[in-house]
Chains A and B, each alone.
Chain A
């Protein structure tokens, strides 16, 4: 069976594809940054439980308070890019979603459990005592399992060759485990996430928690150690991932596609630069370079997707019936929403401190 014959017909777009691509590439890295901070916070909090010193115990309590916020924003900031992926690649995404339906739906109960457990870890931190360590470890493992499910869907949707398996197994129990890039891709993603997450913890410790010098120092040290060592590991994993890609896709980064090659160069440059700054414990400077690095990595990821889909699908060929007013409506709502959020956050400066 020719897998291309299984690809559903894409629905017409309601704006030029460039708008959706722009919004996707704008919002997805924001989701990644929140997700990285969430995983990094959970991991650091767990490590803190293994250290007997007082600052580390206090740090884990501080991180416990931050974790539910990060879960909330990771989910919220994940909605926007998933929406734009639905628009651009919906016909592919829904297909792979059906193939792995059971796992895909499992994301919801896993997230609900992880989220409530994160709240329990926050609200009942002291009451939990020793078991708090296991609570945050379970939160971390649950959230990382969600990442694994997403990695499966995102790789299966770009591999129509794996789709005919549905005819024998239509119960939604398929994963993309036979894909040689899956595990290394997931490892690459998680290592990068935990590294950036460590940096976020270091940033949080040296800014929000700076009034408690010992705790701030503990957070900064631990966070930057995570960032630097995992980023160093990431250089190796990234290379390995690149090597496992199908030749046609890999060659995009080796000169066949100037944009992809440029992105790889920029990625390597930024990674090395953040590593150097990271080893010098320059938190703010490292963060300033890491944000563009996350964007570059997202663009590279997008280029890999385009490479995989080249034989099957070209989003620029999807017909579009442009209607401006809904787009303008959204942009106005977005600007107003940001203004209101900034106004609300600005009011936090005036709140009374409680002991």
Chain B
């Protein structure tokens, strides 16, 4: 809201950040672990007086120089460029908070460059002791870069006591700092071992090749083994909500975890095979490429998980993914978002500009994570099953229902404008306030009553009331409670509301049984999956099976929240699903 948005509907910013970040993560960790690998391998060559190993180390250094200094250095700059484009507000906050951390990192970057140049260009031209010392300087500087960036990245996930005191060191040495530092260090050593594998297979000297493959394998295996408990330590210090997401409440993390598990297993298996078994057949280029891919899969899933565990924030508990500060939400809800946003043309929602204002709200609140008809997290596909009324309700509790989505920030009229844009604007749906198509009573209730009391509150109050009693009460609401204003509406509207309220406690009594199921489905299921997704999955299921599944949705898929509806509601929902899916009775 403070900044303009780079609008590339097909790609979306998130995907671009992910692409650049993942590439950089591999190379930058390799730059750290590889530093240690080079010095240790050189030491091995010196101790064993082995010229073929020394020649290998020199060749590996050239590859290392070209990969880490050019590609690693520039993709690091690229991350900075792209985050300032996609998350300018968050970048500004991080830069301002940690400027001297970044500045110190720049010094280590400079030392790294000089050390690597000197190390590479003086191979065989400098005494061993000094050359080794230069190598150690390189590794030290590279590891210090990791140390510094680690503090800042982990701050984004767990700001810790910085939230209260805004102290640099409190933010830097945050709760995940140490486990993450160890984990990343072992990861970087593991990657170095895997890269070592790759380059070693190109060695022509048989003896040297086997020696270096064995050496690299032990490197990778030990680092891999040590990375697992530190990864566990990392997860154990996460705050509850983030751990909940890591534990499966986030669908994207669930996918990443599967990739990680398979990669880890494949990596361990192939590495052990390479080192121990059948040296002639197993130690091939294809096998080392599998190792690389598995190592990257393992590391990539970790990074993906870390990013996703922060949602809905870009800086946990401070700033949402869309750049809105958590502390501003209440104020903006009162004053209105558009009035507070700098980069909008519609400062107020009117009948004439509703869709256009909704588009601006979308741009500033949703586009940070959603593309429009694009590759990743397409908003059109995600919202196609929701109508205007359901969308409004969804937006009102979006963060409560799905923790990883940021709350809608703004006043009620703005929320309607966004709902209008998402349904009528993007999905060409009619702009009627009926919550579920065909259930006018529910829609009218949402509009006229729900601001003070939702159906959940009202339901026990009117338990046992006949429809007529409810209908009569609607004619004279202040008699029930002097704080309630009269409901002045046409008779037909009042009838519809009475029908709806009666159906809350008597789902089977009116034609609304089907409507109730439809409404419940729209409210609770459609935000994640419509029938197009569900139908093939439940096709052939009996009503009993569906009804049982509704009791424990998280058992079906850990990303699904359990459904908290009453038994009657679950019955109605199961009825509706079985009918729609054409399943067996």
Chain A interface (Cβ < 8 Å from any Cβ of B): 1, 5-9, 11-15, 20, 23, 69, 72-73, 75-77, 79-80, 83-84, 86-87, 90-91, 93-95, 97-99, 101, 104-105, 107-108, 111-112, 115-116, 119, 163, 166-167, 170-172, 321, 323, 325-327, 329-330, 333-334, 336-337, 340-341, 344-345, 347-348, 350-354
* Pick from A14, A105, A354: contact of B99, CB under 8 Å: A14
**Apart from A170-B6, A172-B6, what 11 extra A-B contacts exist at CB < 8 Å?**
A6-B343, A14-B99, A14-B100, A14-B168, A76-B73, A76-B113, A87-B96, A107-B81, A115-B74, A170-B363, A330-B103
Are the CB atoms of B117 and A72 closer together than 8 Å? yes
The chain A residue with its CB closest to the CB of B345 is: A167
B4 within 8 A of A: yes
Are the CB atoms of A94 and B81 closer together than 8 Å? no
A14 to B114, CA, bound (A): 30
A97 to B87, CA, bound (A): 11
Are the CB atoms of A340 and B111 closer together than 8 Å? yes
Chain B interface (Cβ < 8 Å from any Cβ of A): 2-8, 16, 66, 69-71, 73-75, 77-78, 81-82, 84-85, 88-89, 91-93, 95-104, 106-111, 113-115, 117-118, 122, 124-127, 130, 134, 137, 141, 166-169, 342-343, 345, 363
The chain A residue with its CB closest to the CB of B148 is: A333
Q: A residues within 8 A CB of B127?
A: 350
Q: B residues within 8 A CB of A98?
A: 3-6, 85, 88
Are the CB atoms of B102 and A83 closer together than 8 Å? yes
Are the CB atoms of B70 and A7 closer together than 8 Å? no
Q: Give the one of A84, A170, A336 with max B CB within 10 A.
A: A170
Are the CB atoms of A119 and B100 closer together than 8 Å? no
* Pick from A14, A111, A166: contact of B343, CB under 8 Å: A166
Smallest CB separation, A341 vs chain B (Å): 5
Are the CB atoms of B168 and A325 closer together than 8 Å? yes
The chain A residue with its CB closest to the CB of B1 is: A8
Do most interface residues of chain A lie in helix, strand or loop, or is the interface mixed?
A: helix
Are the CB atoms of B106 and A12 closer together than 8 Å? no
Interface pairs A-B: 10 shortest CB-CB: A94-B88, A170-B7, A326-B100, A337-B107, A330-B100, A101-B6, A333-B104, A8-B2, A108-B78, A11-B96
A117 to B102, CA, bound (A): 29
Smallest CB separation, B11 vs chain A (Å): 11
5 examples of A-B residue contacts, CB within 8 angstroms: A104-B85, A105-B81, A172-B85, A336-B107, A341-B110
* Pick from B4, B84, B111, B137: contact of A166, CB under 8 Å: B4
Are the CB atoms of A79 and B70 closer together than 8 Å? no
Q: A residues within 8 A CB of B97?
A: 14
Q: A residues within 8 A CB of B98?
A: 326
Q: B residues within 8 A CB of A95?
A: 3-4, 88
A14 to B92, CA, bound (A): 12
The chain B residue with its CB closest to the CB of A94 is: B88
Are the CB atoms of A9 and B2 closer together than 8 Å? yes
Q: B residues within 8 A CB of A8?
A: 2-3, 88-89, 342
A326 to B96, CA, bound (A): 12
* Pick from A6, A80, A94, A354: contact of B125, CB under 8 Å: A354
Q: A residues within 8 A CB of B78?
A: 105, 108
Are the CB atoms of A112 and B88 closer together than 8 Å? no
The chain A residue with its CB closest to the CB of B83 is: A94
* Pick from A7, A105, A326, A337: contact of B85, CB under 8 Å: A105
Smallest CB separation, B131 vs chain A (Å): 9
Q: B residues within 8 A CB of A80?
A: 103, 106
A20 to B110, CA, bound (A): 19
The chain A residue with its CB closest to the CB of B13 is: A101
Known contacts: A101-B85, A327-B100, A337-B110. The answer to whether A344 contacts B118 by CB under 8 A is: yes
Q: A residues within 8 A CB of B108?
A: 333, 337
Q: A residues within 8 A CB of B5?
A: 98, 170
Q: A residues within 8 A CB of B168?
A: 14, 323, 325-326
The chain A residue with its CB closest to the CB of B140 is: A340
Q: A residues within 8 A CB of B115?
A: 344
Q: Give the one of A13, A115, A321, A333 with max B CB within 10 A.
A: A333
* Pick from B84, B92, B125, B167: contact of A323, CB under 8 Å: B167
Q: B residues within 8 A CB of A108?
A: 74-75, 77-78, 81
Smallest CB separation, A26 vs chain B (Å): 12
The chain A residue with its CB closest to the CB of B110 is: A76
Are the CB atoms of B3 and A94 closer together than 8 Å? yes
A354 to B75, CA, bound (A): 34
A20 to B103, CA, bound (A): 11
Known contacts: A101-B6, A329-B104. The answer to whether A73 contacts B84 by CB under 8 A is: no
Q: B residues within 8 A CB of A344?
A: 114-115, 118, 134, 137
A340 to B53, CA, bound (A): 28
Q: A residues within 8 A CB of B8?
A: 101, 171-172
Q: A residues within 8 A CB of B71?
A: 112
Are the CB atoms of A337 and B111 closer together than 8 Å? yes
A330 to B5, CA, bound (A): 33
* Pick from A20, A75, A340: contact of B77, CB under 8 Å: A75
Are the CB atoms of B107 and A334 closer together than 8 Å? yes
Q: A residues within 8 A CB of B2?
A: 8-9, 91
Q: B residues within 8 A CB of A354?
A: 125
Q: B residues within 8 A CB of A119?
A: 66, 70
Are the CB atoms of A79 and B109 closer together than 8 Å? yes
Are the CB atoms of A350 and B110 closer together than 8 Å? no
A15 to B98, CA, bound (A): 11
Are the CB atoms of A86 and B95 closer together than 8 Å? yes
A347 to B106, CA, bound (A): 23
Q: B residues within 8 A CB of A347?
A: 118, 122, 126, 130, 134
Are the CB atoms of A11 and B92 closer together than 8 Å? yes
A340 to B109, CA, bound (A): 13
Q: B residues within 8 A CB of A73?
A: 113
The chain B residue with its CB closest to the CB of A336 is: B107
A345 to B111, CA, bound (A): 11
A97 to B81, CA, bound (A): 9
Smallest CB separation, B128 vs chain A (Å): 13
The chain A residue with its CB closest to the CB of B111 is: A337
Are the CB atoms of A97 and B85 closer together than 8 Å? yes
